[in-house]
Structure 1
Amino acid sequence: MGIPDAGGPGSADGLPGLPPEWGRVIVPDDAAALADEAALVRRELRREATRRRWQRRLGGTGHRMLGLPLLVLLVVALTTTAALLAVAWPRPPRGGDRPTVVPYPPPSGLAGRPLPAVDLLDADQSPVPLRGLLPAVIILVDACECAAQVAAATAATPPGVHVVLVGPSAATPGDGATGTGPPPGDPPARVLTDPSGSLRAFLQVPARPDSATVLLVTRSGALHRVVSQARTVEDYRADLVALVR
């Protein structure tokens, strides 16, 4: 049988003062009657101790162990996103970043331009100003055997128009290697050499073994037409009359 705290707070029974909301407190005579309450309190204390222990682990070493994998995953995600954006981002067309530098225009764009002021060499290695032979049909035969074409061009060229045959080096009449010897006919073609390749550099047209390059130049020094691959005189016969106008 318990002893009731009849006196309440400050009573003569010697019990400490308790909050009024606890109501009437009965103290049992046998402490074994409080075994269930004691077990409940111990379970709560153990649960609280376990919770605090895990909190310390996660907030200390456990947190650092988990932090490195999370950082790696974050870096991988950012790198993948940046790569996808770089692939999907619209780009300017190729060659749009910087213009292509072309030293000289192609043959189709040379019509109307002035013939460059170059000096070629004659058989005596004396310089000959090319602009002093205008109007002219200038035939570059530095890679082909074009003797037949040169002879046909000489026969078809109107009077007063020079036929200038240009090769890389001097050749003797009848030389079959390049066909640059003076062809038959009256007047003969003027044979000059261009060791430095200045005309080829101006035209930006490669030499071909099966064709010649022909420049039709007017009296004023303007290029009337450039035929990059002429195999016969028929490729430019219709333009010859324009050189005497």
Structure 2
Amino acid sequence: MGKADADGPGLPDLPPEWGRVVVPDDASALAEEAEQIRRELHRRVTAPPRRAARRPGRPASRRWPPAVPVLVLLVTVVAAVAGLATVTWPRATRSPGPAASPPERPPTPLTDRLLPALDLVDAGQAPVPLRGLLPAAVLLVDGCPCPERVTEAAAAAPPGVNVVTVASTSPRAAPSDSRVRALADPAGGLRAFLHLPAQPEAMTVLLADRSGRIVLVLPEVDSIADYQVELAGLAG
């Protein structure tokens, strides 16, 4: 039916002598008590004032009869109305914001993965297996010819390590007097494997040892110092 004042919302601390006050769930259940309160108040307003008997030598004083039951009932009615208003008060619904787009995932690290079994092409469009050039320093020059970077790599590569340039549609001319193999990747398979688009004025370097394991991938290279140590280790 209802619940005690200890569970009701916003009830004040009531004197313990009032006993347990139960707040009904439906305010209409208090209609009879409310009518009783109205009759009591009407009676007090319309009834003539009563004078209390006074003792000799003491001034007259007005004494009111105890109204504790009426006050308890009044507090109960107010608490019931407040509880119903709290439950039924419309709450503003918060409109959901725009769905946040998931963050872009970084490319999967390629170190220690095997070099893909791709076929590149030479100047005569003959296929050249990439794994047949191991160990190799693969220089992707589709974004920048970077002849000075290619020359540095050829000079720093130890004996037995192939330096390979890879362009997009057709091989770029290798620097003269250099041990550089110029190839092309018309299908773009190597770039797709690396998940690294070509950048203007930038060369990408991929190092793979003789077993085909990728040792290092650098999206952009500023000088041979960026990978000289790893390049020298490919001869081991």
Larger radius of gyration: 1
* 1:219 aligned residue (193, 210, 222): 210
In 1, Cα distance between the equivalents of 2:129 and 2:215? 19
- Cα shift at 1:211: 1.3
2-structure distance, mates of 1:207, 1:94: 26
Partner of 1:146: 146
Unaligned runs of 5+ in 1: 1-76, 172-179
Which of 181, 190, 200 is the equivalent residue of 1:199? Answer: 190
Paired letter, 1:106: P
d(CA) in 2 for partners of 1:167, 1:94: 35
CA apart distance, 1:140: 0.2
Please state which structure has a larger fraction of its residues in helix: 1
Partner Cα separation in structure 1 for residue 184 and residue 101 of structure 2: 41
Are 2:160 and 1:160 aligned?
A: yes
2:225 corresponds, among 225, 229, 234, to: 234
SS state at 1:229 partner: coil
What is the count of residue pairs matched by the alignment? 148
Question: Are 1:120 and 2:120 counterparts?
Answer: yes
Question: How far did residue 145 of structure 1 move?
Answer: 2.8
Paired residue for 1:185? Answer: 177
Q: Is the 2:107–2:195 Cα contact (8 Å) retained in structure 1?
A: yes
8 Å CA contact 1:151, 1:184 repeated in 2 = no
Segments of 5+ residues of structure 2 without an aligned counterpart are 1-88
In structure 2, the partner of 1:19 is none
8 Å Cα contact 1:157/1:163 also seen in 2? yes
**In 2, are the aligned partners of 1:166 and 1:194 still within 8 Å (CA)?**
yes
CA distance in 2, matches of 1:132, 1:233: 24
For residue 218 of structure 1, report the CA deviation from its aligned partner.
0.5
Identity of aligned residues (%): 44
* Distance (Å, rounded) in 2 between the aligned partners of 1:87 and 1:193: 51
- 1:139·1:165 contact (CA, 8 Å) conserved in 2? yes
2:222 corresponds to which letter in structure 1?
Answer: R
Instruction: Output the TM-score relative to the length of structure 1.
Output: 0.55
Deviation digits for residues 85-121 of structure 1 (CA, Å, limit 9, x no counterpart): x659xxx9864xxx97x6xx627x1100000110000
1:181 & 1:134 partners in 2: Cα distance?
A: 21
1:81-120 aligned at under 5 Å gives the runs 81=92, 83-84=93-94, 95=102, 106=107, 109-120=109-120
AA at the equivalent of 1:132:
G
Return the offset for 1:209.
1.7
Query: 1:244, CA displacement in angstroms?
Result: 1.5
CA distance in structure 2 between the partners assigned to 1:215 and 1:158 by the alignment: 16
Question: Normalising to structure 2: TM-score of the pair?
Answer: 0.56
Give the CA deviation at 1:148: 1.0
